[in-house]
Amino acid sequence: MEKKEFKAESKRLLDLMVNSIYTHKEIFLRELISNASDAIDKIYYKALTDENLKFDRDNYYINIVPDKKNRELRIIDTGIGMSKEELEENLGTIAKSGSLAFKNENELKDGYDIIGQFGVGFYSAFMVADSVTVITKALGSDEAYKWESQGADGYTIDVYEKDAVGTEIILKLKENTEDENYDEYLEEYRLENLIKKYSDFIRYPIKMNVTERKLKEGSENEYEDHIEEKIINSMVPIWRKNKNELTKEDYDNFYSEKHYGFDKPVKHIHISTDGAVMYNAILFIPERIPFDYYTKEYEKGLELYSNGVLIMNKCSDLLPDYFSFVKGLVDSEDLSLNISREMLQHDRQLKLIAKNIKNKIKNELLSLLKNERDKYEEFYESFGRQLKYGVYSEFGSNKDILQDLLMFYSSKEKKLVTLDEYISRMTEEQKYIYYATGDSVERIAKLPQTEMVAEKGYEILYLTEDIDEFAIKMIMSYKEKEFKSVSSGDLGIEDKENENNTENEDTANKELFEKMKTILSSKVKDVKTSKRLKSHPVCLTNDGEISIEMEKVLSSMPNNEGIKADKVLEINVNHDIFKALKEAYEKDQEKLALYTNLLYNQALLIEGLPINDPVDFTNDICKLMI
Ligand code: ADP
Ligand code: MG
């Protein structure tokens, strides 16, 4: 029999295929099993429309047969088979997908979609095999054929003997190399694992003979090997089951089985839709941060199945970055078994699913917040930071989705509160949502700047994480209330008496303040009477967009060392220290310089900023003592 060449473009494609499209050789099994499953689907579909054809489930299965002696692996199915023409068409032309043609001819309705519309899956066999043989008998045909190929140089087709309708694929495995051990595809446990991993949810039984050591009958310590035919796949995926039939434990088990994490999920989301996009999904919100979560190594994404066949381990397009902690999978019949990530990225169905999923996650989190506050707080402790990054990144374009999910520590409630809760407690005269920044709740509570706002009886949000103030600045206002830092120049608190007072004091002490400003030279933008201090002598506030807290964060990052907040030294004129300052100003200029520097450095320390020169500072303190 003459050898036929693959069509020209096919040769190149085959080469490309074997060497680069699939990074994991092991997926050849998934591809061949999925073809077998497609072939059975086709009979199933025919039976639906052909009265003479009966589809008896028991007769349809896939059989995996390893043969160590001959180093051969067989994948046998009882599907629709191929005629000679179909062999030529389907296996002679790479990238000509028979499944697609079948679908177009029969105008398949939704729900009978056939996996794999790309037409290269079959050739993945050449990643592990030197020689591939296909013996097949088509439904309704008396003749069977044998197709054989050693790769790019072509194939032969011969008439062959085969009783039952269906297809048998025989892979002659490649010789082992230093990097690759092809023998492993003959090991029962390896095959079993691969089937479970990639094809567990194929709807037809995948059978294999499995050897089990068992006690010899009548003996207590003698064992013998039993070979038993087993169905390896579970066939019904948990996500296709009815929610009502599943317990929390089922979901938790699935979470562990899938190695999504060592923790127990805080919440699972089971989605089955049959609207515009049909898909099933099971998503999990973990409780704990994975150890690598905040590292570059962490890869977000959901497993993606096309009609029960795993096509991608981590499909990142399905999750926005701010929900990157979500684990789980999506199965859709509407997706084609595409080969590349690049192609999936542009898939319209996938985009719709992603959007849908994003909304579901948000709503689930909101309901968790509303109904299971403790659980939400556990979650928030782990991933709140990510939500806040989400608000800040992409120029704030996601803030509307996320801002209701944020929580900050409240000076009044002494626990985490939402922005909505804060707003609900605001009095009519309160204009702003106040916040204070610092390293910890304890430290913020002691900040001099909070005194005035707290005395007014206003609630203050304590922002303790680096990202907090950046996120708040991005939100700008919540339900028409603007955010205001307790350190900002104008606190927006109306207090006529106080107002006049400070003005008077500023005028009265103009020269003293000018002098102090000169002593501190470029370190502060201004020295002035404080409206916010009650018991502390001085504090630093900022004038302008960059707050002192932001200066701290930014200056700890590379290339930002020069970024500084415009600082204002505020003086409490009702404090005894102020009297000392005044006295020094009148009598002893050297003392004034000493006091001014000391007070400035104290203010820096309270802010958690480094003092410019610790040696100078300690020398100054010593001068006070002698
Ligand atoms: P795809 O599955 O995306 O169509 P493949 O390269 O995996 O592409 O397969 C090419 C074609 O070969 C299939 O569309 C199908 O028509 C045919 N084929 C492959 N394996 C079988 C099989 N086991 N039984 C019947 N037809 C098969
Ligand atoms: Mg295929």
Model pLDDT for residues 152-164, shown as the tens digit of each residue: 778 899 999 999 9
Smallest CA-to-CA distance from 481 within 432, 410, 419, 425 is with 432
Tens-place pLDDT, residues 336-379? 654 455 666 667 888 999 999 999 999 999 999 999 999 999 99
Average pLDDT over residues 298-325: 89
Q: Which atom of ligand 1 is nearest to the CA of 166?
A: 24
pLDDT in the model for residue 1? 63
The CA 91 to ligand 1 mean position distance, Å, reads 8
- List the alpha helices (DSSP H) in 110-228: 188-199
- 286 compared with 313, residue with greater pLDDT: 286
Q: Please say whether the beta carbons of 526 and 543 come within 8 A.
A: yes
pLDDT at 335 over 50: yes
SS3 602: helix
Fold entry, domain 495-626: Four Helix Bundle (Hemerythrin (Met), subunit A) (1.20.120)
Nearest-angstrom CA–CA distance, 571 and 515:
14
Q: Is 90 in the pocket of ligand 1 (CB under 6 A)?
A: yes
Superfamily (CATH H level) for 8-231: Histidine kinase-like ATPase, C-terminal domain (3.30.565.10)
Q: Is 79 in the pocket of ligand 1 (CB under 6 A)?
A: yes
Confidence of residue 528 (pLDDT cuts 50, 70, 90): very high
Q: Which of the following CATH numbers is that of domain 406-493: 3.40.1160.10, 3.30.428.10, 3.40.50.1860, 3.40.50.11260? A: 3.40.50.11260
Q: Which atom of ligand 1 is nearest to the CA of 100?
A: 4
* Annotated domain spans of the chain: 8-231, 238-376, 406-493, 495-626
Q: Report DSSP state, residue 122.
A: G
* Nearest ligand atom owner, CA of 165: 1
Q: Which atom of ligand 1 is nearest to the CA of 80?
A: 25
The residue count for the chain: 626
Instruction: Supply the pTM of this predicted model.
Output: 0.69
Nearest-angstrom CA–CA distance, 486 and 532:
9
Smallest CA-to-CA distance from 41 within 121, 126, 98, 124 is with 98
Name beta bridge partners: 207: 63, 231
Pocket test for ligand 1, best of 63, 99, 137, 307 (most atoms within 8 A of CB): 99
Q: Find where tokens 């009958």 sit.
A: 217
Nearest-angstrom CA–CA distance, 97 and 447:
70
pLDDT exceeding 70 applies to what percent of the chain? Answer: 90
Q: Is 118 in the pocket of ligand 1 (CB under 6 A)?
A: yes
pLDDT at 606 over 50: yes
Q: Spelled out in words, what is the top-level CATH class assigned to the domain 238-376? A: alpha beta
Tens-place pLDDT, residues 428-446? 999 999 999 999 999 999 9
Tens-place pLDDT, residues 187-226? 999 999 999 888 887 889 999 999 988 888 888 888 999 9
